[in-house]
Amino acid sequence: MKEGIMRRVIKGGTIVTADRSYEADIAVENGVIAEIGPDLKGDEVLDASGCYVMPGGIDPHVHLQMPFMGTFSADDFESGTRAALAGGTTMVVDFCLPDPQQAPLDALAIWDAKARGACADYSYHMAVTWWGETMFDQMQAVTRRGINTFKHFLAYKGALMVNDEELFASFRRCAELGSTALVHAENGDVVAAMQEKLLSEGLTGPEGHALSRPPEVEGEATNRAIMLADMAGVPLYVVHTSCEQAHEAIRRARQKGMRVYGEPLIQHLVLDDSEYRHENWDHAAQRVMSPPFRDKRHQDSLWAGLQAGSLQVVATDHCAFTIEQKRFGLNDFTRIPNGTGGLEDRMPVLWTEGVNTGRLTPNEFVAVTSTNIAKILNCYPQKGAILPGSDADIVVWDPEKSATITPERQQSVVEYNVFEGREVKGLPRYTLARGEVAVEDGAIRATPGHGRFVGRPPMGPVNKALSTWKAATAPRGVARSAANMPGGV
**Part in contact with Zn ion (CB under 5 A); list of ranges 134-142, 381-389, 396-404, 444-452:** 444-452
Q: Which does 82 bind (CB under 5 to 8 A by kind): Zn ion, ligand URP, none?
A: none
- Cα 51 from Cα 398, distance rounded (Å): 5
| Interaction between residue 152 and Zn ion (CB under 5 A) | no
Member of 125, 184, 247, 268 binding ligand URP (CB under 6 A):
184
444 by DSSP, 3-state: which? strand
For ligand URP, the closer CB: 28 or 115: 115
346 in contact with Zn ion (CB under 5 A): no
Measured from the CB atom, is 30 or 406 closer to Zn ion? Answer: 30
Q: Cβ closer to ligand URP: 26 or 271?
A: 271
Complex with Zn ion: residue 233 or 435, whichever CB lies closer: 435
Least CB distance to ligand URP at residue 401 (A)? 30
Closest CA to 447 of 460, 459, 465, 431: 431
What's the closest the beta carbon of residue 19 comes to ligand URP, in angstroms?
Answer: 31
317 binds ligand URP, rule: CB under 6 A: yes
Closer residue to ligand URP in complex, CB, 128/366: 128
- Dist CA 22 CA 238 (whole Å): 33
Q: Which stretch binds Zn ion (CB under 5 A): 109-117, 172-180, 314-322, 405-413?
A: 314-322
- Name the residue among 64, 56, 141, 146 with its Cα closest to residue 106: 141
Residue with smallest beta-carbon separation from ligand URP: 338
16, 28, 60, 63: which one contacts ligand URP (CB under 6 A)? 63
> What is d(CA 201, CA 210) in angstroms, rounded to the nearest whole number?
15
Q: Is position 290 an interface residue for ligand URP (rule: CB under 6 A)?
A: yes
Per-residue b/e over 121-146, b at no fewer than 16 CB within 10 Å? bbbbbbbbbbbeebbeebbeebbebb
The phi and psi torsions of 23 (rounded to 5 degrees) equal -90, 125
x/- mask, ligand URP, residues 324-363, rule CB under 6 A, reads: --------------xx------------------------
**Which amino acid, one-letter code, is at 273?**
D
Residue 147 sits in the site that holds ligand URP (CB under 6 A)? no
CA distance 155 to 166: 13
In Å, how far are 121, 155, 162, 347 from 438, measured between CA atoms?
Answer: 12, 37, 40, 16
317, 345, 353, 391: residue in contact with Zn ion (rule CB under 5 A): 317
* Shortest Å distance, C-beta 194 to ligand URP: 16
Q: CB 340 → ligand URP: shortest distance, Å? A: 7
State the virtual CA torsion across 41, 45, 51, 57 in degrees, nearest 10: -100
Size of the residue set binding ligand URP (CB under 6 A): 8
Strands 14-16 and 89-96: unpaired
Strands (E), 116-204: 121-127, 149-153, 180-184
User: Least separation, in Å, of the C-beta of 151 and ligand URP?
Assistant: 9
Q: Which residue is nearest to Zn ion (CB)?
A: 184
- Position 184 contacts Zn ion (CB under 5 A): yes
Contact 94, 124 (CB under 8 A): yes
| Binding site partner of 450, from ligand URP, Zn ion, none, Cβ cut-off 5-8 A by kind | Zn ion
- The nearest distance, CB 115 to ligand URP, in angstroms, is 18
Q: What is the bridge-based pairing of β-strands 32-37 and 44-47?
A: unpaired
- Asked if 263 and 312 count as a contact pair (C-beta separation under 8 A), the reply is yes
Q: What residues line the site for ligand URP (CB under 6 A)?
A: 63, 184, 289-290, 317, 319, 338-339
Residues in touch with Zn ion (CB under 5 A): 184, 317, 450
